[in-house]
Amino acid sequence: MTRALIADDTGTCRAHDGDREEAARIAAQAYAELPVAYRSGLTRTRALALHHSLPHHTRGRDDLAAALAP
């Protein structure tokens, strides 16, 4: 779970720096690799926050949405 949170932070920084596609890729991969038991709480909140911050046309945003789908 710690790695996923660090990856989400990395993704958020990348998005802030303008590399939104890479941000989405990092977050989607980190979240998808989490065991189901860890896909709630803070990890989900941070991944959702990143997803919502990305413009709709961002490449990889749909992959992040798919990873976040129940």
**Would you list the domain boundaries of the chain?**
2-68
pLDDT band at 1 (very low <50, low <70, confident <90, very high): confident
What is the per-residue pLDDT across 6-59, written as a single tens digit (0 to 9) for each? 999 999 999 999 999 999 999 999 999 999 999 999 999 999 999 999 999 999
Contact of 45 with 7, CB cutoff 8 Å: no
Between 32 and 70, the higher pLDDT residue:
32
Amino acid at 36: V
Q: Is residue 70 over pLDDT 90?
A: no
pLDDT for residue 53: 96
Contact of 8 with 50, CB cutoff 8 Å: yes
